[in-house]
Amino acid sequence: MKTLIELREISLYALLFAIISIVLATKYAKVNKKKGKRPPEAAGSWPIIGHLHLLGGRNQLLHRTLGVMADKYGPIFSIRLGIHPTIVVSNWEILKECFTTNDRVFSTRPKFLALKIMGYNQTMFGFAPYGEYWRDIRKLVMVELLSNQRLELLKHVRDTETSLLTKELYEKSVKSGGQVTVEMKKRLGDMAMNIIVRMISGKRYFSIDANSNQESKRCQEALANFFYLVGLNLASDAVPFLGWLDSVKGYVGKMKRTARELDNVLGSWVNEHRRTRLNRSIKEEEKDFIHVMLSSMDDRDISVDEADTTVKANCLSLLSVSDTPVDMTESPGLAVPKATPLEVVLRPRLPSIAYEF
């Protein structure tokens, strides 16, 4: 009897919470609804979740769904992602108008829980809100880090990693008697990751070989967790007052642990570079991205902690682009392409002297 009463009380509280949530969501939508000319809103919106139920099918391609909506509602229309009104543009002339004449209006970034917790309160270059900080970091990245001169100075990193992969494949072929089938997707991903990590920090962490040191494993695990958690669809991103669901599911705790792990890895890189700068002068061709960013921070009137946070945040921003595989397969996401092995048959065509390194 007592258990039955408790279940009834829980059901009553759940029903009461659902009613309050709907009322609050409706009130929020009315308060934020502006007068004036607005693009048409797609039909089928539900309270609280908006149009999310129309966009989240398992085998549903988002761009095709939005394309069908564009055929029905025109080149510019609105949908609601949770309680957030969102404009969808499918005409290049309107899009050009948005990102040229009115670029400042559209240049900010939405707030995401994962990037707030793991991305140093969303100070990563690619996700920072528009403002003075974003403009300064954009200038630093484009003029100093990704300039043609800097990339040319670091060309030896790309050449070395390509040679190491070629050497590994050749040795594998020789050991097998001249011909062997190998899986290449992991190897190509590791090569790309090593190039990026070396250009950022001067370190080499990723290898198909399972015998990695503890620091390498710690870095790989932290980055893998980061990429996984950033890709989650969190309730709080769509409906902020349902953020407690993310805590109940354990996502918030995992993000905080991953944030600490990432900070330890990135912090060790920055501290090591600071010690190197104190002990000796760094030649221009030896400078990786962290050296360049620290030199830039020296010219700013900010504390060491603030400078280190900026450097770590933008190291993470540059690392985050390396998890996207190049794949032209049309699929609902990255799960299908990643599940498909990329196998090649190794058979050296040139004399062995051509493969000596």
Question: Residue by residue, what is the 3-state secondary structure of the chain?
Answer: CHHHHHHHHHHHHHHHHHHHHHHHHHHHHHHHCCCCCCCCECCCCECCCECHHHHCCCCCCHHHHHHHHHHHHCCEEEEEECCEEEEEECCHHHHHHHHCCCHHHHCCCCCCHHHHHHCCCCCCCCCCCCCHHHHHHHHHHHHHHCCHHHHHHCHHHHHHHHHHHHHHHHHHHHHCCCCEEEECHHHHHHHHHHHHHHHHHCCCCCCCCCCCCHHHHHHHHHHHHHHHHHCCCCHHHHCHHHCHHHHHCCHHHHHHHHHHHHHHHHHHHHHHHHHHHHHCCCCHHHCCHHHHHHHHHHCCCCCHHHHHHHHHHHHHHHHHHHHCCCCCCCCCCCHHHHHCCCEEEECCCCCHHHHCC
Q: Give the tens place of pLDDT for each residue, 252-299.
A: 999 999 999 999 999 999 999 999 988 888 888 889 999 999 998 888
- Residue range 55-69: mean pLDDT, rounded: 83
pLDDT reading at 10 higher than 70: no
Q: Give the tens place of pLDDT for each residue, 72-105.
A: 999 999 999 998 999 999 999 998 988 888 888 8
Give the separation between CA 162 and CA 97, rounded to whole angstroms. Answer: 42
Q: Say what the pLDDT of residue 200 is.
A: 94
- Residue range 40-45: mean pLDDT, rounded: 92
Angle formed at CA 265 by CA 301 and CA 297, multiple of 5 degrees:
15
Using alpha carbons, select from 223, 204, 199 the residue that is nearest to residue 292.
199
Which amino acid type is present at position 78? S
Give the separation between CA 153 and CA 285, rounded to whole angstroms. Answer: 6
On whether the CB atoms of residues 340 and 329 are closer than 8 A, the answer is yes
Give residue for tokens 């992991």: 186
Q: Is the full-model pTM beyond 0.95?
A: no
Rounded alpha-carbon distances, angstroms, from residue 219 to 176, 215, 270, 325, 340? 32, 6, 14, 19, 25
CB atoms within 10 A of CB 241: 14
Give the separation between CA 234 and CA 312, rounded to whole angstroms. Answer: 25
Averaged pLDDT of the chain: 82
Which amino acid type is present at position 217? K
Q: How confident is the model at residue 229 (pLDDT cuts 50, 70, 90)?
A: very high
Please give the domain boundaries of the chain with CATH numbers for all domains: 33-107 (no CATH), 134-355 (1.10.630.10)
Q: Say what the pLDDT of residue 4 is.
A: 46
Q: How confident is the model at residue 7 (pLDDT cuts 50, 70, 90)?
A: very low
pLDDT reading at 13 higher than 70: no
Q: Say what the pLDDT of residue 328 is.
A: 45
Q: Say what the pLDDT of residue 335 is.
A: 45
pLDDT reading at 34 higher than 80: no
The pair of structure tokens assigned to 71 is 């055929």
Q: Give the tens place of pLDDT for each residue, 124-162.
A: 988 888 888 999 998 998 888 889 999 999 999 999 999
Q: How far is C-alpha 299 from the chain's CA centre?
A: 29
Q: Say what the pLDDT of residue 58 is.
A: 66
Give the separation between CA 295 and CA 272, rounded to whole angstroms. Answer: 14
Q: Say what the pLDDT of residue 105 is.
A: 83
The end-to-end CA distance of the chain, in Å, is: 79
Count, residues in the chain: 357
pLDDT reading at 9 higher than 60: no
Q: How confident is the model at residue 113 (pLDDT cuts 50, 70, 90)?
A: very high
